[in-house]
């Protein structure tokens, strides 16, 4: 595989280096930018072009170099004459078609020989505005695929190309859908830019305010310290002015006894002050009265405490009940009560009839009797039983009809009363069948 293509002074390319990627490499660009010159350079390297038209104007040396993934380097060079450089070995040629023997062994871009020996198929290059290889002449295609050793490889290449094309279409569809989702998400998130800008400005303003608050706090602390220092300086200045007229103190004897005396004097003075303050406080007081029985007062305090708690509870209840509106006016529940009562009776009768029917269905055929009298009696009783069953069946049908009517009445009432007119709760078939207009076993009053 070709890993590097270098064009030096070849047509419009002064010095161009192309490194094809693994797989398919597509070269795009505007007209007259040198795309076709790259294909022409590869054809020149294969020996298909001759002459000096490919040499860049004003240059003397033109060279095309190809490097492969197996470490080979093949170069075509024109300087007055044409020569090849194969893996560092220069090979001269004389005339068109006189190519080095191992050129295509290294380059792997040979033409395929036609079975007639006079024509060759170029399977590696397609000319611009020309039909795709081998589709212009069916006879050439048949001859090529019947004799070429590369036919199987071309078929594999065609299959691989179809698979890659199918995968590329699927990937394109997936990426198109993903791009649409991303565009929709970006359209949804468009206002975030302005919000982020405002948020950044707000955060910057907050940081400035915090900085100003910290600076103000530091300045306040400095002012407090300065005021304290001014107070200390004034104190020491007053002290210095007061002590300046004094003469130096005479030498003192051992001050320990005097310090002990001063401590005892200080303690005695503190005790005297305490006793004096206590006497001053107690002097205006009269003698305490005699104490009476305090149990009535204790009972009164307990009662007042209970009353206070009751008042607090009533106040809380009043605050909770204040927003409530008056309950709706109850309608007469007698029609609904009568409907439910008839419904319960119909269900009970229906259940009894069903039990009788199930008991009669389970009866087996009676065995044959020699004496027809008991059979006659049994037949008469069975006839009466059949009549009774038919009567019960008709009664059951009538009860089913009444049950359906009651069910329709219930549905009509439920449609007209979606909420209970008594408690305001949601009405349903289950709550009505619970009985006595209850909801979940409790009546909301």
Domain containing 62: what range?
Answer: 2-110
What letter does residue 439 receive in the DSSP assignment? Answer: B
- If asked whether residues 6 and 106 sit together in one domain, one would say yes
| Per-residue pLDDT at 440 exceeds 90 | no
Instruction: Band the pLDDT of 171: cuts 50, 70, 90.
Output: very high
Q: What is the pLDDT of residues 373-400, one digit of tens each?
A: 777 777 788 888 888 888 888 888 888 8
Judge whether 426 lies within some domain: yes
d(CA 182, CA 185): 5
Rg (CA), the chain: 59
Give residue-wise pLDDT tens across range 239-294.
888 888 877 777 767 778 878 888 888 888 888 888 888 888 877 877 777 777 77
Q: What's the rounded Cα separation, in Å, for the pair 403 and 406?
A: 5
95 pLDDT higher than 70: no
pLDDT (average), residues 13-23: 89
End-of-domain residue from the set 58, 80, 110: 110
In a domain, 19, yes or no: yes
Q: 22 lies in a domain?
A: yes
Give the chain's length: 445
Q: Report whether pLDDT(438) > 50.
A: no
Residue 20, classed as helix, strand or coil, is coil
- Backbone phi, then psi, for 225, in 5-degree steps? -60, -40
- Helices 334-361 and 372-416: angle between axes, nearest 10 degrees: 150
**What is the number of structural domains in the chain?**
3
Question: What CATH number should be reported for the domain holding residue 77?
Answer: 3.40.50.300
- pLDDT tens per residue across span 39-74: 888 888 888 777 778 888 888 899 999 999 889 999
Which pLDDT score is estimated for 369? 52
Question: Is residue 136 assigned to a domain?
Answer: no
Residues 90 and 9 in one domain: yes
Query: pLDDT at position 116, please?
Result: 62
| Arithmetic mean of pLDDT over the chain | 80
Beta bridge partners of 195: none
Provide the whole-model pTM: 0.35
**16 pLDDT exceeds 90?**
yes
Classify residue 327: in a domain, yes or no: no
Q: For residue 146, is it within any domain? A: no
CA distance 276 to 228: 37
């Amino acid at each position: 595989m070709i890993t590097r293509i270098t064009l030096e002074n070849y047509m419009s390319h002064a010095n161009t280096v192309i490194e094809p990627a693994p797989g398919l490499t597509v070269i795009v660009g505007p007209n007259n930018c040198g795309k076709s010159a790259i294909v022409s350079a590869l054809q020149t390297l294969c020996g298909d072009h001759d002459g000096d038209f490919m040499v860049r104007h004003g240059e003397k040396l033109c060279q095309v170099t190809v490097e492969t993934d197996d470490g080979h380097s093949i170069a075509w060079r024109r300087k007055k004459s044409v020569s090849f450089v194969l893996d560092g070995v220069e090979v001269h040629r004389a005339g068109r078609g006189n190519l080095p023997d191992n050129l295509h062994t290294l380059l792997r871009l040979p033409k395929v020989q036609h079975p007639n020996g006079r024509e060759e198929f170029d399977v590696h290059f397609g000319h611009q505005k020309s039909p795709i290889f081998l589709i212009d002449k069916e006879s050439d295609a048949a001859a090529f695929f019947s004799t070429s050793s590369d036919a199987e490889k071309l078929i594999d290449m065609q299959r691989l190309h179809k698979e890659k094309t199918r995968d590329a279409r699927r990937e394109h569809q997936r990426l198109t859908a993903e791009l649409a989702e991303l565009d929709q998400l970006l359209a949804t998130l468009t206002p975030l830019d302005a919000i982020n800008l405002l948020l950044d400005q707000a955060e910057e303003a907050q940081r400035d305010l915090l900085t100003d608050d910290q600076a103000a706090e530091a300045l306040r602390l400095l002012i407090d310290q300065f005021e304290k220092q001014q107070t200390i300086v004034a104190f020491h200045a007053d002290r210095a002015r007061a002590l300046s007229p004094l003469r130096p103190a005479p030498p003192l004897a051992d001050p320990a006894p005097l310090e002990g005396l001063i401590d005892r004097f200080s303690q005695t003075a503190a005790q005297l002050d305490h006793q004096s303050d206590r006497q001053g406080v107690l002097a205006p007081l009269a003698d305490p009265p005699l104490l009476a029985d305090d149990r009535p007062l204790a009972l009164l305090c307990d009662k007042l405490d209970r009353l206070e708690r009751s008042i607090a509870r009533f106040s809380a209840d009043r605050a909770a009940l204040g927003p409530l509106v008056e309950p709706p006016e109850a309608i007469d529940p007698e029609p609904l009560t009568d409907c439910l009562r008839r419904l319960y009776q119909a269900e009970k009768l229906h259940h009894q009839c069903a039990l009788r029917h199930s008991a009669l269905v389970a009866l087996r055929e009676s065995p044959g009797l020699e004496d027809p009298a008991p059979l006659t009696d049994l037949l008469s009783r069975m006839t009466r039983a059949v009549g009774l069953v038919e009567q019960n069946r008709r009664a059951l049908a009538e009860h089913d009809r009444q049950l359906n009517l009651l069910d329709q009445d219930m549905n009509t009432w439920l449609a007209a009363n979606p909420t209970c007119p008594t408690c305001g709760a949601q009405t349903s078939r289950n709550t009505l069948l619970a009985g006595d207009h209850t909801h979940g076993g409790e009546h909301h009053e």
